[in-house]
Chain A
Amino acid sequence: MAVIETNDLTRKFGDFTAVNAVNLSVTEGEVFGFLGPNGSGKTTTIRMLLTLLKPSSGTATILGQDTRRASKQFLQQIGYMSQKFSLYTDLSVRENLTFFGRSYKLYGKQLKERMQFALDMAGLKGHENTRTSDLSGGWAQRLALGAAIMHRPRLLFLDEPTAGVDPLSRREFWDLLYNLSQEGTTIFVTTHYMDEAEHCQRLAFIYFGNLIAQGSPEAIIEENVPGTVISFEPDDPIDVLRTVEAAMDSGEVPPGRVSLFGAAVHVVTQDVERMLPFLEAQFANAEGNTPAFYYETPSLEDAFIALVKQADADGQSG
């Protein structure tokens, strides 16, 4: 069953189209990653899904409700945690949880029980009276998550929940998300981190307002990085990059993609038999060292670089 379903969801601000005819489909119980660079329309999309912003055209159906006609009551089934962790920093841990719980109609014994749950989850037992501003990033983040799920939402929106948090805390946070997902909560999460994106069951990638990919990480990689990745670290990567690009354009080697990954060059090709000798030949006569060549499994990052290049090329030709 689709928990989130959008149909040509579009939002314009004046002449600027922030979100352009986006069709998303999120199934119940999955961890769905929503990716895209800053300013690509991620936040605008989330705001529309949360009924904070009206679509210019198109529709969004959340938990079977059309967001344009949804009453405030439907928000009772939704949890939301933003990148600022959305806690009241002048209030204590207990005060924050009490306010969140009561806002979602938890009172008395039920409230106490869920507060205990949130405290356990955040590892903040014994710190109930600490001012939230005194908590470090990881604690505050887990407390915010606890506050957002106290009322057992069916659907949880997380807007860059790990921004500015150390790697260990990020790891722990994702473990918590998996547990939640296992219990049946659908999670819609935006992130910048590719390693996190690979942990999602399905992904959507938005670029300049357009959805340019949607599917499981494996499918997205397969679709956009057909072939093998040859990785090597030459002394002058830029120079090599240009040479390979020129050779691909002239037809000297079969078409593929080439891109920089830090100090490394990634060459994606369907014809290793012809590509590898060409690459080795580049270093045969040179004075510098011949780098070692590795075959790598294409990563999501390879896929997104391919996607962005394709989108930019389409944008230029269109």
Chain B
Amino acid sequence: MIARILNIAWKELLHLRKDRVLIPFFIIGGIVELTLIAWATNQPIDDIHTTIVDHDQSAQSTALIDALDDTSTLAHETSANNAAAVRSKMHRDETVVGIVIPEGYAEDVEAGAFPTVRLILNGAHSVKAQEARRAIEEVTFEQGMRERFNMEPAEYAEMLPQISVRYNEDLERGWYTLPAESGFIFYLFTVVLAALAITREKEKGTYEQLLVMPYRSVEVIIGKALAPMVVGFALFLAMMGLTVFAFGVPFRGSLPLLMVLAIIYLVAELGKGILMSMLSRTQLQAVLLVFVLAMVDMIFSGYAVAVETMPPFIRFLSNFVAIRHWLLIVRGIMLKDVGLSVLWPHVLAIIAIGTVILTFTATQYRRQAN
């Protein structure tokens, strides 16, 4: 039985080796994708275009503007005469942040009252707007502490919460996205390869020949899954290497554990690929099906959108998507050095999902063979 499975796997590897487009596409595509994401997530959100309306024109208001300008987040680009002018600029998408300092700002500060500064944010750029709001609140808080209570930073620091960030000390976004992206490319690559495995034969007309050979369905399925598994695994190792050595994401956990879990995860996803392959008549159909599937999986994976903020029912459904568990495992091992004692529910979930998919795939194959 093993010799027969290996015979099919060998033939499939030959197909992949002779295909001059498929493998190079995924290797180059994977590297480019990772590099772009590493670069993009490394860009801090800085110099947000800010328009200031200073109705007060006093030393105090100028001090406030300077303090805002001193933050790396905001860049005082233009001034305007009134709030209406700011809104019209936002309408034309010329600015993200508007700050209106009211008349009498200096007097209020002198008198020890609370002067109100108006902040207008362009919510269409939600990430930048959030970032700007945080920076402005920080500046006004510090100003208030100094002007109103005459406190130095060292004094009011005691009032602030003690923050310690674990696992990703600098809250680098790349540390979050790059392992997930590697995991996702790994997923997409192997599922696409598996999906092509049977449709390739259907298109060429060799499928019937294969069906009349004395193979058992399980031998064909495993044999056909083995080749994408080997190639996919090699690609995954390469992506991991790139993530760690080129983009500086730490690898703190156990590499052997991650490898073993990667194989388990792979088997579950390959079943899906082979299933797509059986449901399609042509390779094009199979690839399109995989992409539809990948989009759904992507949403449930927690990679692009946080699963925690989804409605309870969707959150519940996401438990049945293997890639969600897989990405948690990758991040858990890489960044947090956690082992099976923590990850076991996710491992069990992947095994359960994989078993269901593979059983269904094998039944489908047997049904199609008849």
Chain A interface (Cβ < 8 Å from any Cβ of B): 50-54, 72-76, 78, 80, 82, 84, 86-91, 95, 99, 102-105, 107
Contact = CB atoms under 8 A, between A and B. Distances in A.
B309 interface: no
Interface of B: 3-4, 7, 10-11, 14-15, 18-19, 204-206, 208-209, 211-216, 369-370
Nearest to A147: B209
Contacts of B19: 90
Given A82-B205, A84-B206, 6 more contacts: A52-B208, A72-B214, A99-B7, A102-B3, A104-B214, A105-B4
A103 B3 contact: no
Given A73-B214, A75-B212, A88 B205 contact: no
A86 B208 contact: yes
A72 B216 contact: yes
Among B3, B7, B208, B209, the one with the most A-chain Cβ atoms within 10 Å of its Cβ is B209
B212 A78 contact: yes
Nearest to B216: A72
A52 B213 contact: no
A contact face: mostly helix, strand, loop, or mixed: loop
Contacts, number: 65
Among A52, A76, A78, A103, the one with the most B-chain Cβ atoms within 10 Å of its Cβ is A103
A215 B216 CA distance: 37
Given A53-B370, A99-B11, A88 B204 contact: yes
23 contacts: A52-B208, A52-B211, A72-B216, A73-B214, A74-B214, A75-B214, A76-B214, A80-B209, A84-B204, A84-B206, A87-B206, A88-B15, A88-B204, A89-B204, A90-B15, A90-B18, A99-B7, A99-B10, A102-B3, A102-B4, A103-B215, A104-B214, A105-B214
A256 B214 CA distance: 51
B14 A91 contact: yes
A99 B7 CA distance: 7
List 3 tightest A-B contacts by C-beta distance, closest first.
Answer: A84-B205, A86-B209, A75-B214
Contacts of A103: 4, 7, 213-215
Nearest to A85: B205
A154 B94 CA distance: 82
B171 to A, nearest CB: 49
Contacts of B212: 50-52, 75, 78, 80
Given A76-B214, A99-B11, A86 B206 contact: yes
Contact of A72 (B7, B11, B215): B215
Contacts of A74: 214
Contacts of B214: 72-76, 103-105
A104 to B, nearest CB: 7
Contacts of B205: 82, 84, 86
B245 to A, nearest CB: 35
Nearest to A96: B11
A72 to B, nearest CB: 5
Contacts of B370: 51-54
A75 B15 contact: no
A82 B3 contact: no
B204 to A, nearest CB: 7
A188 to B, nearest CB: 13
Nearest to A87: B206
Contacts of B4: 102-103, 105
Contacts of A90: 14-15, 18-19
Nearest to B6: A102
Contacts of B206: 84, 86-88
Nearest to A47: B208
Contacts of B3: 102, 107
A81 to B, nearest CB: 8
A74 B369 CA distance: 15
A75 B204 CA distance: 22
Contacts of A75: 212-214
Contacts of B209: 80, 82, 86
Nearest to B204: A89
B223 to A, nearest CB: 10
Nearest to A90: B18
Nearest to A50: B212
Contacts of A86: 205-206, 208-209
A88 B215 contact: no
Contacts of A84: 204-206
Contacts of A72: 214-216
Nearest to B219: A72
B344 to A, nearest CB: 38
Contacts of A99: 7, 10-11
A133 B215 CA distance: 25
Among B204, B213, B215, the one with the most A-chain Cβ atoms within 10 Å of its Cβ is B213
A89 B15 CA distance: 10
